[in-house]
A and B are shown apart, each in its own frame.
Chain A
Amino acid sequence: MPQERGLVKDELASHVRDIARALGGKLSEQEIEKELSSYLNVYRVSLDTAKRSIVKKHGGNPANLAIGINKTIRELLPGEQSVNLLVRLVSVNEKEVTPEGQGTKKILFGILGDPTATVPFTAWEPLNGPVATGDVLRVQNAYTKEYRGQIQVNFGLRTIVSKEKADALPEYKGGSPLPYAGTPTPFQVDRLREGTSNVAVTARILSTETREVEVEGAKKLVYGGVLADETGKTRFTAWKDFGLKEDEVVRIEGAYVRPWRGIPELSFDERSNVVRLKGDTLPPLTKLAESPRVWVEDLAERGGGVDVTVRGILIDMREGSGLVYRCPECRRVLRKGACRIHGEVKGDPDLRVKAVLDDGSGALTAVFDRELTEALLDKTLDACIAQAKEAMSQDIVRDELADILVAQPMETRGNVTSDDYGLMMIVQTAKILKVDVQQEARQMLEGLEGSA
């Protein structure tokens, strides 16, 4: 449970002032307070996410936020910019690294612990005094990243580390994380937002898979898949085997939401409770497995979506569409015959389209792979290579694609991920939209005349 719900008024006020400062006084503190309260209490996102979203929404730069958020290790999410921790140094080591284009420097790395969990850390800048295993440290303005599915804490230039008395924290004993406080709040799948915790979801399991991940150096099996209710689908990850089977309807209580490539993903563990429900509680699997048609605006608000369908117009084609050559090492698209990482290489030919799909409510970047591009062009990759050779230009393929696709109504289906650059759909299926315009117009007109 995020501790910000129990935030005392004074502490909240300091975050409000922090946002006001980052926005350069563009928004009054009353308005900020109202908005912050809506993020925290209505949407129930984390304080960090809320602060950054408000600053971004009003055209400010979240990097200007100065006050970190007190968290326990258990509450950390990937991509936090500014967190404060009270931790014990479980282990610490030193090594030399040589970052690209810089001199060799010494960094510290190891494991931090508090009563809720442990987490690996790296200190990229020298600390202002020596530290040793067992020390209790107060860390301000640290940031987190995700590396191979695990959260890591980083100390950077802005981070302040100070030593506390040894009894400021109880000894770390290991064991399972602490349970949530309070009863779980029910959410429909399309209302799940990154950073929300202690939620209850009633859903049908559409598919399951097990995969192996590494947690603190040990291999661990996780049980994932896709689940759905009437409002949509989401990926899930269970850190414990609940014996979930395809097609069963369950209520998962005490789950939390974390991002997977920007898409909210439901996670649950030993603190959670899974209740089996009757099969007819929800529509059948075939119905729930359908891809719901959504507006881009809603995807933007949600942070992406699993297996959704968007109808829009392809209003622009992006750089790097058409016939491209990829680096044989890393599959990056070559620019002027060179890979950004591996230099000049002999590239493998490929076809792809990166286009802007706009449905009037918002826009996303739709990426079409070779197979889809061949279908849209009605031409194979080999034919395109031959065509480019004859024209002595790769652009001819891109131009032909633009000619076919730009201003074209399309329906695309796939997963939509989100990052700082916006939304991206990896298109699974696409079709040029054929709509009976007259029939739709007639229906609308009848509705209009009927109500008049």
Chain B
Amino acid sequence: MIREAAWRVFAAEFNDATLEVNGGGDRAPSYVITPLGAKVNRIYAVGVVTDVENIGTDMQPMWRARVQDPTGTFHLYAGQYQPAASAVLSKLKPPVFGAVVGKSRTYTPDSGTVYTSIRPEIVKTVDENARDYWILEACQSLKRRLDAMAEASRMDPPSKEALVKLGVRESLADGIVQAVGHYGMADLSRYTAMLAEALRYLLPEYRGDRSPETVVADIAPAAPEKEPEADAGRETSVLEVIVELDKDGKGAPWDAILTGAKAKGLSKEDLEEAINGLLDKGLVYEPVLGRMKKI
């Protein structure tokens, strides 16, 4: 059995994925297929570890970590069956550059929303150079998918054989056909903009007068500057929603929070930001993936 390749995929693309396929059979690997056709079983990511938290118990710890890249956040979950990764995560002092090798996972609450996460095999602290090199590799990998997807967009319908004939690797061609079948044609302009943004992130001439330290904090360049008071207001509203919805004490389900937040005039992005803020402040936590609970 050939070892699965570790894909270099940006968090935004990985988190956009809602398709998980099983190779069939008992021991066949499963893959998370992104809208651009990356068939991810194993992933390699380098970013800023922004927080690590034990969401299990002292006896049975379950470490959750967030790793940020220029496009978004990877979510890591490591428990007793990932002893090496857990040991490293338990000692990590964020913020720190971290490299992660792990398996792709999805979690689907009843509503059908799909959350992707990484079950880490290896976590290691690295330096900025390793992170920059990873961004470059992830850009090159993204570019290959964009080019192949552009070819696929000229076919009706895209076929694996025709893509392979054009020089697209078989595994990617297969991923693209499955992706188009599930998501429809990907929004190429959006991902091309993401690619350009990630490349600019590496270049000092686009950094303006921001000091290197703020670059890390300012990692989602698409998000406009927010007034701190507005943030606080949103967070209070979201916290209210969470408490209201947590009827059985198991935490409020994400979809209900989203509906509740929309009723209060908050967009999905507003909500995500508010939740991140609340998580950072330690006001809420995720008892299980997809549920939020007030501490």
Contact surface of A with B, Cβ cutoff 8 Å? 26, 58-60, 296-297, 300, 313, 315-316, 356, 358-363, 406-409, 420-423, 433, 435, 437-438, 440-442, 444-445, 448-449, 452
Contact = CB atoms under 8 A, between A and B. Distances in A.
B136 A441 contact: yes
Nearest to A23: B25
A407 B124 contact: yes
B199 interface: yes
Contacts of A300: 2
A362 B8 CA distance: 12
B5 A360 contact: yes
B230 interface: no
Listed residue (B8, B44, B199) with the most chain A CB atoms within 10 angstroms of its CB? B199
19 contacts: A26-B25, A59-B24, A59-B27, A296-B5, A313-B6, A316-B101, A358-B44, A360-B44, A361-B5, A362-B3, A363-B4, A407-B126, A409-B133, A422-B1, A435-B133, A441-B135, A441-B203, A444-B140, A448-B195
Contacts of B171: 297
Interface in B12-57: 23-25, 27-28, 44, 46
Contact of A438 (B23, B130, B204): B204
Contact of A444 (B101, B130, B199): B199
Given A59-B25, A437-B202, A444-B140, 5 more contacts: A59-B23, A315-B122, A363-B2, A363-B5, A442-B203
B93 to A, nearest CB: 17
A316 B199 contact: no
A313 B171 CA distance: 20
Contacts of B169: 297, 361
Contacts of A433: 133
A440 B25 contact: no
B6 A363 contact: yes
Sorted nearest first, the 10 A-B pairs with minimum C-beta distance are A407-B99, A441-B202, A59-B25, A445-B199, A363-B3, A59-B28, A437-B132, A358-B6, A362-B5, A441-B199
A95 B51 CA distance: 70
Interface of B: 1-8, 23-25, 27-28, 44, 46, 99, 101, 121-122, 124, 126, 129-130, 132-133, 135-137, 139-141, 143, 169, 171, 192, 195-196, 199-200, 202-204
Listed residue (A26, A406, A452) with the most chain B CB atoms within 10 angstroms of its CB? A406
A315 B4 CA distance: 12
Contacts of A407: 46, 99, 124, 126, 130
A437 B122 CA distance: 24
A420 B24 CA distance: 21
B2 A362 contact: yes
A212 to B, nearest CB: 36
A438 B44 contact: no
A445 B202 CA distance: 11
B5 A316 contact: no
Contact of B192 (A406, A438, A448): A448
B57 to A, nearest CB: 29
A296 B169 CA distance: 12
Given A300-B2, A360-B44, A437 B28 contact: no
Contact of B143 (A316, A361, A444): A444
Nearest to A316: B122
Contact of B139 (A363, A423, A444): A444
Contacts of B200: 445
A444 B198 CA distance: 11
Contact of A360 (B2, B8, B121, B124): B8
Nearest to B121: A316
Given A361-B169, A363-B3, A409-B133, A315 B199 contact: no
B133 A360 contact: no
A203 B24 CA distance: 43
Contacts of B1: 420-422
A449 B196 contact: yes
B170 to A, nearest CB: 8
A408 B23 CA distance: 31
A445 B169 CA distance: 24
B111 to A, nearest CB: 32
Contacts of B202: 437-438, 441
B130 A360 contact: no
B153 to A, nearest CB: 15
A444 B195 CA distance: 10
B60 to A, nearest CB: 26
B124 to A, nearest CB: 5
A405 B97 CA distance: 16
Nearest to B99: A407
B122 A406 contact: yes
A313 B5 CA distance: 11
Given A408-B130, A437-B133, A441-B139, A360 B6 contact: yes
A317 to B, nearest CB: 9
A423 B133 contact: no
A442 B135 CA distance: 13
B5 A297 contact: yes
A422 B2 contact: yes
A297 B171 CA distance: 9
Contact of A315 (B6, B23, B24, B137): B6
A135 B190 CA distance: 74
Contacts of A420: 1
A401 to B, nearest CB: 13
Contacts of B44: 313, 315, 358, 360
Contacts of A316: 101, 121-122
A402 to B, nearest CB: 8
B196 A445 contact: yes
A313 B141 CA distance: 14
A362 B4 CA distance: 6
Nearest to A402: B124
A388 B108 CA distance: 49
B188 to A, nearest CB: 11
A435 B202 CA distance: 13
A326 B61 CA distance: 39
Contacts of A421: 1
Contacts of A362: 2-3, 5
Nearest to A359: B5
Nearest to A364: B3
B199 A356 contact: no
A398 to B, nearest CB: 13
A429 B50 CA distance: 37
